[in-house]
Amino acid sequence: MSLKNFKKKIHTFIFPNNAQPNWKGLLNMFAALAVVLPLVYLLGLDSYAITFVLTGAIISQILSLKLPLNLLLRLNILSIIIIGISFITAGIGLMSPWVALLLLLAWIFLLSILNILGKAPGTLGFMGVFLFFYGSIAIVNYQATPLQWGLYASFGAFISSLVIIIPKFLQKDRAKREIVASCLLPDANLNTIMMAQKLVSDTISNQENTSLVAVGGLLVAARFQAHSIESELSGKIKEYFQDYLAEVDYLSRNMAESVIKNDKNHIIGLENLEAKFKLINDFPGTDPEFFNAKKLAKGYLNIFLKAQDVLMGKLVIPLPPNNFSSDLSAWENIKANLNINNMYIRHGIRFSLAVGIAFVLYLITQSHNIHWIALSIFVVLKPDLISTKERMIKRVIATIIGVVLALIIANFFIFIGWPVMITVMILIMMAFIVLYYNISYLHMAVAATMLIIFILPMDKIMIMGGLRVLDVLIGSTIAFVVSYVVLPTRLKVNLPQLLADRLNSTREYVLKSSPPMDINNPEILIAVREIARTHNNLKAGIQKLKDSYDDIDDDVSFYQNILNSVDKLSGDFTALTLQTKNIKITDEDFQLAIKYLADLLGTLEESIKLTSKVPPEIDFNYANNMIENMKKDITNEEYMVAFKYLEWIISDIKILYGLIQYGSKIRTFDRYKDV
């Protein structure tokens, strides 16, 4: 093997999938532990040190998320509560295996419900189940009452959160600027814009921040179109266009950096951009793709001119209100999805039955730790068969590697008389888990296995290590068999069809709830529930795509952008109906505009179903002119707000059109029909 190939393999091992480890999360964890551990020993709670270490490490990762401070505070409070409850239930589970089983089933049910409500609630549920397992396996014992375990765990999380939140609070203005600046970076997407929009709508924000988020939204929309246009070009004009886009990215980064630094005197140097624009604009030819390239290049130039006026305080660009979700309560969302067809409910049933089998096995043999087997089931069992099989293989391999390495290292330090180094290894393994949690399951699982082995009493490390491998094999086998036999989700996911269904549900919602909206119409509630169902199905399909293939980050991001853009459209239309329900719109032209927008959605839906069909060119000027004509004789301010919502909806559909047009041209919708 050449030195070059060896270095490449080392780089791939350290940075799998070309992703950077979570260094920020690691720094936050060490900062929290640097305060928590001395405090623990100062208070004489050293026998509970591992509890404080584990909860401090977890809360430090939650607070590493790039979220507005007010959202982080709410998430932090909920996390501390969940952490406390998980340790209390782990302590109660010591009463008997039957009690532990009932509590585990309750956690599984809660996890299924929280998964329905969204990613953030689902993550909290996952954390609760995970800590219940870990607490039961390696931490909670009879030296304290269940309530005391819960209080210690919550106290550790609380102290760690203060270590991280206080500096964030002191630098909250910079944190806010970083979120706004993230909208301007080349890798910004609709999710970035939505997060920043929530920040500027939930807080007292200056007009410059609001306008810069709007500028970011314009850049994101333009980049969606740029992908499609670039794929049509060839020859010299493609080189000019690529150079132009590179300059756009350069200016975007500089503008973002100036926002972070709060540089009020930043000037966007447009000389190079204008020179590159001239090369594109003067390029001879009348082909449609030439015209589109010139039009988009001119659009980019106008965006930066607007951005310069925003930075100089000459221009304010309004943002639509933060209405990115349909008018659906959490309870309605649960009712719409609490059925056997929902992936998370089916998964919860399979999980419960698998744990029940493991429990029966424990009662028969009395020779295996039910929590270890259940933990393996929890980690291995996925919502579908293929993902379960892949996770089972990785789990078994990681466990064997982790146990062997941990036994060698632990026995070496015991042999040389340095058992204190095992504590150091615990911290190192925690660091590896943090670094690789969202990057490589195999790396993370090896580190997690070694961590558990190191936590065990030194005189039991050898025998417990062997038993852990056996328990993992038992748990993984049960998970695979249950996944194959019980309500098997072997049905292949047709991702383009799920996307078409999501568009169709939005189209039906638009037609049934178009102004003037009859809030007593039961069809509207049915349409809203259908939006929730198709949204969750598409989101689960995207996750399955991510789990099933390697090196498809671009396709996953593509589908995620479409999901976000449809959500934004649904939210903006909901805002329109709420705005107009009290002003009794009877204008036939207004109704025609809504019908026209619904027809556009139908056209996009059809182009996805007919995978080889690129959506026809849409004259968005026609839609904008239609609104301008309606506004001519209108003086009612509430009507004018409604028209503004219509303009935003047209902008949403324009983004969707650019995405779907690009996806059709590169034949994305030909793929992933049988995931």
Q: Taking CA 89 as the corner, what is the angle to CA 86 and CA 92, rounded to the nearest 5 degrees?
A: 155
C-alpha closest to that of 373 among 438, 381, 444: 381
Q: What would you measure as the largest C-alpha separation in the chain, in angstroms? A: 90
What is the per-residue pLDDT for 630? 72
User: Which residues neighbour 549 within 8 Å (Cβ) at sequence distance 6 or greater?
Assistant: none
Residues in the chain: 675
C-alpha atoms less than 13 angstroms from C-alpha of 194 in its C-beta half-sphere: 18
Compare 221 and 435 and report the one with higher pLDDT: 435
Mean pLDDT value across residues 627-633: 71
Q: Which of 143-152, 162-171, 193-202, 624-633 has the highest mean pLDDT?
A: 143-152
Residue 377: both structure tokens together? 């089931």
Residue 92 has pLDDT above 90, yes or no: yes
> Alpha-carbon distance 129 to 539, whole Å?
22
User: Which residues neighbour 663 within 8 Å (Cβ) at sequence distance 6 or greater?
Assistant: 558, 562, 608, 669
> Alpha-carbon distance 607 to 617, whole Å?
12
Quick one: 418 exposed, middle or buried, by C-beta within 10 A (0-12, 13-18, 19+)?
exposed
> Alpha-carbon distance 379 to 449, whole Å?
12
Under the banding of pLDDT at 50, 70 and 90, the label for residue 440 is: confident
> Alpha-carbon distance 82 to 101, whole Å?
19
Q: What is the pLDDT of residues 464-513, one digit of tens each?
A: 777 778 888 888 888 888 888 877 655 567 888 888 888 888 888 888 77
Residue 294 has pLDDT above 90, yes or no: no
Mean pLDDT value across residues 623-648: 71
Q: What is the pLDDT of residues 8-23, one digit of tens each?
A: 555 555 556 556 777 8
Task: Name the H helices within 486-619.
Answer: 495-512, 522-548, 553-580, 588-609
Residue 81 has pLDDT above 90, yes or no: yes
Residue 633 has pLDDT above 70, yes or no: no
Q: Is the pTM of this model over 0.85?
A: no
Residue 171 has pLDDT above 80, yes or no: no
Q: Count CB neighbours of 331 within 10 A.
A: 9
DSSP string, 160-210: HHHHHHHHHHHTHHHHHHHHHHHTTSTT--HHHHHHHHHHHHHS---HHHH
What is the per-residue pLDDT for 336? 65
Compare 492 and 153 and report the one with higher pLDDT: 153
C-alpha closest to that of 379 among 354, 403, 360: 354
Note the Cα 564 to chain centre separation in Å. 11
> Alpha-carbon distance 396 to 407, whole Å?
16
> Alpha-carbon distance 408 to 399, whole Å?
14
What is the per-residue pLDDT for 79? 92
Mean pLDDT value across residues 149-159: 93
What is the per-residue pLDDT for 154? 93
What is the per-residue pLDDT for 11? 55
Q: What is the pLDDT of residues 588-622, one digit of tens each?
A: 666 777 777 788 888 888 878 776 567 777 777 77
Query: Residues 150, 524: contact at Cβ < 8 Å?
Result: no
Residue 637 has pLDDT above 70, yes or no: no
Compare 38 and 430 and report the one with higher pLDDT: 38
Cβ burial 78-96 (10 Å sphere, 16+ → b, else e): ebbebbbbbbbbbbbbeee
> Alpha-carbon distance 644 to 234, whole Å?
39
Mean pLDDT value across residues 27-53: 88
What is the per-residue pLDDT for 9? 58
> Alpha-carbon distance 524 to 539, whole Å?
22
Residue 487: both structure tokens together? 């309500």
> Coil, strand, or helix at residue 62?
helix
Q: Which of 113-127, 516-530, 611-625 has the highest mean pLDDT?
A: 113-127
* Whole-number CA gyration radius for the chain: 28
Q: Taking CA 424 as the corner, what is the angle to CA 11 and CA 437, rounded to the nearest 5 degrees?
A: 45
Residue 528 has pLDDT above 60, yes or no: yes
Cβ burial 591-620 (10 Å sphere, 16+ → b, else e): eebbeebbebbebbbebbeeeeeebeebee
What is the per-residue pLDDT for 428? 87
- Min mean pLDDT across 45-54, 90-99, 548-557 is at 548-557
Average pLDDT, the chain: 79
> Alpha-carbon distance 30 to 607, whole Å?
51
3-state helix, strand, coil in the chain (%, to 5): 80, 0, 20
Please give the C-alpha separations between residue 549 and each of 440, 500, 553, in angstroms, as whole numbers.
13, 22, 9
What is the per-residue pLDDT for 325? 45
Under the banding of pLDDT at 50, 70 and 90, the label for residue 151 is: very high
